[in-house]
Amino acid sequence: MSTLSNKRIIVGITGGIAAYKSAEIVRRLQDRGSKVQVVMTPSAEEFIRPLTLQALSGYPVHADLLDPEAEAGMGHIELARWADLLLIAPATADFIASMVHGRGNSLLSAIYLATSGMVAVAPAMNQGMWSHPATSDNMQTLRQRQVMIFGPDNGIQACGDIGEGRMQQPDVIAEQVANCFETGQLSGKKVVITAGPTREAIDPVRYISNHSSGKMGYAMATAAIEAGAQVTIISGPVALAAPDRCTVIRVISAAEMHSSAMAACADADIFIAAAAVADYRPASVAEQKIKKHTDSIELKLEKTPDIVSTVANNVKDIFVVGFAAETQDIETYARDKLQRKKLNAIIANDVSRIDVGFNSDNNEAWWITSNTSQVFSKRSKTQLARDIIDILSKQIDS
Ligand code: C5P
């Protein structure tokens, strides 16, 4: 069974009789490890009560586009960014038409327009409505926009008709949602990823470190796993659970990260250096705790080994991706780093902003190679990681 661990899914419910099955869909998605928030259209509330879905999902149900209180909490743009995948189930003929026309007249349609995550619809309607050329054309348009279409099934309908138009069963929908995250783009590839900060000891109780949370590196690992890669994370100290289906090597210092990375990269195809490795470490580590006897002390610092450039310069046939955390002239500094460290690609981000970068769940980044540059506008780190893995896989194949 494919997993959805740590995935964030919005279940959008529109007004059809199949809405009673949406409660079960929420449950099946949670069974596979995802977090689920529910957004309903006003007509969906005629078929199933928001309270049921609130109790099941553990989140308030979102329904109103113009509710100032709701917008002050998690508004439609926040919700759109939160979601890795927007699943509209059931999707009525009317709602599908509004997606095709890009209308933003309900909270759910506004989220559809604003999301950069994946979108799937599970249509549910009378067989006549489903086979109408207007609906067929609309479905064709959604397919061209990479919206995934689940079903519909064939069978007896609520109105007594028999034919195509029934919403698929909740467990079938949950299985297809899980499959959306499995791209296979990196199947057979070995990927090594460094993540998190390093700690450089001053004495047995103190250290030098930085604010890296490890979220970006772990998101890259998850995206690479979903793409079918065999992943090793070399992780500095972080407060994150390791993704399923990968090897995690835990390290503390830059020196440990360096030797683990060199060993793991020997037979790897791709190295992604997402760790915020401490640039300097104390030249010598005091054996005992340093006492507070003097008003000031001096620490002599020395450079730590540059892990990503050691790998790029010494390991053959490996595609090396670095990160550049910058506060100004982002592209220029990143391009300089790309050349100096002999990397194949670099992902640059602006760490001077508080809404993205360090510790944030969101990030905005540039993918830069020797002859290309592409911006990924602000989105969740999970989605950004997936987009980067996508572009990386295409680059390796070309
Ligand atoms: O030079 P700077 O630290 O800004 O470079 C960032 C890139 O280099 C990141 O990919 C980071 O993981 C990597 N790096 C490294 N070893 C170091 C310092 C940085 O692998 N000692």
Predicted pLDDT of residue 379: 85
Q: Write the DSSP symbol of residue 97.
A: H
Predicted pLDDT of residue 355: 65
Predicted pLDDT of residue 22: 97
Predicted pLDDT of residue 270: 98
C-alpha triplet 381, 82, 46: angle, nearest 5°: 160
Q: Is the peptide bond before 152 cis (omega within 30 degrees of 0)?
A: yes
CA distance 100 to 137: 9
Q: In Å, what is the CA distance from 96 to each residue of 15, 64, 120, 147, 167?
A: 12, 19, 11, 11, 14
Predicted pLDDT of residue 2: 63
Does position 245 have pLDDT exceeding 90, yes or no? no
Question: Where are the CATH 3.40.50.1950 domain residues in the chain?
Answer: 8-180
Tens-digit pLDDT profile for residues 319-372? 999 999 888 899 999 999 999 999 999 999 887 776 655 667 778 899 999 999
Answer yes or no: is the C-beta of 306 below 6 A from any ligand 1 atom: yes
Predicted pLDDT of residue 66: 76
Mean pLDDT (the chain, rounded) = 92
Does position 12 have pLDDT exceeding 90, yes or no? yes
CA of 306 to the centre of ligand 1 (A): 6
Predicted pLDDT of residue 183: 79
Residues above pLDDT 90, as percent of the chain: 75
Residues 6+ apart with CB under 8 A from 268: 190, 191, 192, 232, 315, 318
User: Which whole number is the average pLDDT over 292-301?
Assistant: 93
Smallest Cα–Cα separation from 307: which of 346, 279, 268? 279
Name residue 158's amino acid. A
Q: Mind telling me the catalytic residues? A: 159
Among the atoms of ligand 1, which is closest to the Cα of residue 305? Answer: 21
Question: Where are the CATH 3.40.50.10300 domain residues in the chain?
Answer: 190-397
Q: Which of 113-122, 125-134, 389-398 has the lowest mean pLDDT?
A: 389-398
Superfamily of domain 8-180: Flavin prenyltransferase-like (3.40.50.1950)
Q: Are 272 and 191 in contact (CB under 8 A)?
A: yes
Answer yes or no: is the C-beta of 304 below 6 A from any ligand 1 atom: yes
User: Which whole number is the average pLDDT over 141-162?
Assistant: 91
Q: Are 243 and 6 in contact (CB under 8 A)?
A: yes
User: Which whole number is the average pLDDT over 93-117?
Assistant: 94
Q: Nearest C-alpha to atom 9 of ligand 1 is from which residue?
A: 323
Answer yes or no: is the C-beta of 307 below 6 A from any ligand 1 atom: yes
Does position 1 have pLDDT exceeding 80, yes or no? no
Predicted pLDDT of residue 71: 66
Q: Which of 34-43, 214-223, 358-367, 378-387 has the lowest mean pLDDT?
A: 358-367
Residues 6+ apart with CB under 8 A from 49: none
Q: Are 201 and 253 in contact (CB under 8 A)?
A: yes
Say how many residues make up the chain.
398
CA distance 380 to 393: 20
Domain 190-397: which topology?
A: Rossmann fold (3.40.50)
Of 211, 306, 328, 366, the residue with max ligand 1 atoms within 8 A of its CB, to mutate for a pocket test, comes to: 306
Per DSSP, the three-state class of 350 is: strand
Instruction: Name the residue with tokens 């990269």.
Output: 265
Structure tokens at 202: 């001053």
CA distance 218 to 241: 9
Structure tokens at 232: 């090793």
Following CA atoms 207, 212, 216, 217 in sequence, which dihedral angle do they give, to the nearest 10 degrees? -10
Q: Nearest C-alpha to atom 4 of ligand 1 is from which residue?
A: 324
Does position 5 have pLDDT exceeding 80, yes or no? no
Does position 394 have pLDDT exceeding 70, yes or no? yes
Instruction: Name the residue with tokens 């189930």.
Output: 89
Tens-digit pLDDT profile for residues 228-244? 899 999 999 999 999 88
Smallest Cα–Cα separation from 229: which of 338, 381, 390? 390
Predicted pLDDT of residue 286: 95
Tell me the backbone φ, ψ of residue 148, rounded to 5 degrees: -85, 140
Buried b (16+ CB within 10 A) or exposed e, 207-223: bbbeebbbbbbbbbbbb
CA of 337 to the centre of ligand 1 (A): 9
CA distance 205 to 291: 11
Q: How confident is the model at residue 220 (pLDDT cuts 50, 70, 90)?
A: very high
